[in-house]
Structure 1
Amino acid sequence: MQHELPNGRRDFIKKTGLLTAGLGLVGSSAFAGLEEKTKKNKNKLPKWKGFNLLDFFSPDPTRTRQATPEEYFKWMSDWGFDFVRLPMAYPYYLDIDRSRTITPDEVYKIDERQVDKIDNLVQMAHKYKMHVSLNLHRAPGYCVNAGFNEPYNLWTDQAALDAFCFHWKMWAKRYKNVSDKKISFDLLNEPSMREDMNDQHSKRSTVPGEVYRKVAKAASEAIREENKKHLVIADGNNTGTTVIPEITDLNIAQSCRGYNPGIISHYKAPWANKDPENLPEPKWPGQVGDKYLSRALLEEFYRPWIELVNSGVGVHCGECGSWNKTPHDVFLAWFGDVLSILSENGIGFAVWEFSGDFGVLNSGRADVAYEDWHGQKLDRKMLNLLSKV
């Protein structure tokens, strides 16, 4: 069945030459042709493999997790990984009174001591020859998660956009003389429109393309005022899931996600499900609820991202993995297909975390025979899977 596409999406596919006579958008024959074309193209981004590190994920530096030790970088490097993404909450590095709601003026009050902590982790990653992607997980006026009261809306308020550009200009200036082979700037984690910016469960929708373009263009220009060669990445629209055709001319790479379908990646996760205890048991492949889950579903999901690679835009999967309640054998079977599709098309990845619920270390899964690794609990089967691609 032919899917009807928005005008912007259809124009993008026409531009890339994939909407041609006799080539449907669904079906195995169409994907086989796409795979053949992909083999002849090269992703503009390196096929980085690595992890997100959550040291600066919390907006309150007194409530953050333990700092990443240097030995983690050594292990990552020894195991063949070359990439870390640092999702940052901008309030983490502000000098503000956290007992009350932040004001727009305070968004500019940078705490250099906290910035130095971030820089120390960047330098440690560089010591082990890893590319570092700085990401604003929480930016002035937007975060996919609640937990901090934003004073305005990034998508509708110029004051928020001005502050957003200020923060990125600060980071771009700090790394002005660092090669794009060593650092990149991932503008905003998982963008979406939300009726109430401070209500986790308020109605969410896709950011209008022209609005996303305005924000991405302003921030990328602020970054490149410091170094025109700085590498800029934009997370996919609709919480990282969909390509942004409106910015393909801006020399900005794009970042997809490896969480589809959510019944596998976020099984029983309370922040992602209204009734986490009453979900159908995940299978891969297999019938789950009203859907049959298989590799074909993933091939269809990643098709636009592969088209994007073929059109000459760099693509990386900035987050992927599964929470620890998904049965381990189901997780490995599903994740193997995710990584296979990405890898076959030259797209690298970053697991959501190295150590923790989604991680290769200390995930807390109840059905894993962990290997002791220098006092840490190593999921060797997961590591072997990651190492194959």
Structure 2
Amino acid sequence: MSDDLDLGVLAGSFAEMLDAEWPREKAVAYARADHLYAEDLWQQMAALGWTALTVPEEYGGLGMGSAAVAALHGALGAAAAPVPMLGTTLAVELLLRAGNAAQQAAWLPGLADGSLRAAVAQPGDTVVAADGDAVSGSVANLLDAASANILFLRAVRGGKPAWIVLRSDAPGLSVERHALTDTTRTLGTVTLDGVALDGDALIVPADAAALDDALLRIAALAIAADAIGGGERVLAGTIEYMTVRQQFDRVIGSFQALKHRVADHQTALVAARGLVEYAAGLAADHPQALLMAISAKQHAARAVAEIARDCIQLHGGVGFTAEFFPHIYLKRAKVNEAIHGTRPVLLDRIADMLEAA
């Protein structure tokens, strides 16, 4: 399933299923309720093999690469789907790059079939000490921690960077949920009080910096694609609204000033999508793979946040109400800007990489 045709068919199947099972009306209703994640939608994704996308075939997966990751997360962003897929994408990457054979066999099949929902610590998250047989500490603001049943936390072992992998129901582990304005995702504070570390719980990468770069690359690609999918969907819905909403006996889409704003947004999206697709098409070991991925993330996330904000304005007064959809995309876009590297952080990293080249 690696050639362009199969990838295009796959992307089409993502969009078709989400259009049918998570239409705009359902997204709006979900945003006004209180849920951890859309469990039924997650189960459907798992049944269709979406959660197995990057898992190797020997563990029940499809063995696809970063272009497929971008296609899936783009479709999820377009639907504003409240599912913890980013954690699965990152957990698979972490295990494939740093996990041993026993750890891969223990966790990858569950990630592939969707029975495991992962939360993976971001760069800059709290690092817990893991020098003994048990671990205590606290990790704040872990994305999707409340909906996860397996947690990948940053740690230090013997003075070296490490990761610990814990079940959410482990004795001594608790998660306090924090609601976000973006109701499609949650944050949680993880508290560890003497949580035992078994044989599979500890991952000590041979090259911690290289692992961090690999995780940042795949996270940046997924978030950038999510942003582009959301931007295209909110703009399309806004254009649709502008063709029927009338003011001064004319549809507002006929006003030249508004048409120019929409044209500017469309131009920005095309440019951002091109950057995301180029970055996703690079091999993981390409010299510019990380540079292009984080460039795509910071550019796409910022552009879509601005587009979604203006789409609220283009809707007029109803754009500010919970009954209409633009606010969902703006809130998701703002979180996309913040997670796995804010714009200033990523721009500093880009500058350092260019200076070192």
Higher helix share: 2
- TM-score, normalising length: structure 2: 0.26
How does the TM-score come out when normalised to structure 1?
A: 0.24
